[in-house]
């Protein structure tokens, strides 16, 4: 399946996919607490994401309860530097990449042209499991300076989803990304 989306949709899907080895789960960073209405698993075409280069991925997202209102997301990405990690700044604002806040995830989904299990990929969503196969991505479009910094390292990613109407935490997911280059 080829996944078609506008630039803003690319950022959201890319955030889900810029993650660790060949097959993995996002783990919950708030395990044992309420929330966790969103979970995800993914498969990448290679053990490390090539920078620069192309890769393919499959993604499965499970919503355990309906999401009937707009959601916002807070993304924190930390890059490993020797024995420490540093925050990767947001590049491109609310539609960019890095440690960004996305004030309306539902608006980002409006850029997705395919359907999610026969229904539009728009809010409201779920409860359901959505599967996207053979998604094609490229890191070639990244600025040369970003490519240089992103090669041969590890990134730690935490994504928190909140209901805009109630402020309730819907889920907190974390994973790790390893790159080559």
Q: What sign does the CA torsion over 140, 87, 176, 94 have?
A: negative
Q: What pLDDT digit, counting tens, does each position of 63-119 carry? A: 887 777 678 889 999 999 888 999 988 887 666 778 999 888 888 777 777 677 777
Task: Quote the pLDDT of residue 18.
Answer: 43
d(CA 25, CA 17): 11
Q: Are 146 and 154 in contact (CB under 8 A)?
A: no
């Amino acid at each position: 399946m080829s996944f078609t989306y506008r630039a803003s949709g690319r950022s959201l899907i890319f955030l889900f996919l810029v993650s660790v080895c060949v097959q993995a789960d996002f783990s919950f960073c708030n395990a044992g607490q309420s929330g966790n209405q969103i979970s995800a698993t993914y498969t990448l075409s290679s053990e490390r994401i090539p920078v620069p280069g192309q890769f393919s991925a499959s993604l499965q997202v499970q919503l355990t309860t309906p999401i009937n209102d707009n959601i916002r997301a807070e993304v924190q990405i930390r890059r490993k530097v020797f024995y420490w990690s540093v925050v990767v700044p947001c590049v491109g604002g609310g539609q960019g990449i890095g440690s960004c806040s996305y004030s309306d995830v539902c608006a980002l989904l409006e850029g997705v042209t395919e359907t999610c299990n026969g229904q539009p990929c728009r809010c409201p969503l779920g409860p359901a499991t959505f599967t996207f196969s053979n998604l094609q991505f490229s890191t070639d479009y990244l600025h040369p300076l970003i490519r240089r910094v992103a090669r041969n390292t590890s990134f730690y990613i935490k994504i928190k989803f909140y209901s805009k109407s109630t402020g309730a935490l819907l889920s907190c997911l974390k994973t790790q990304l390893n790159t080559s280059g």
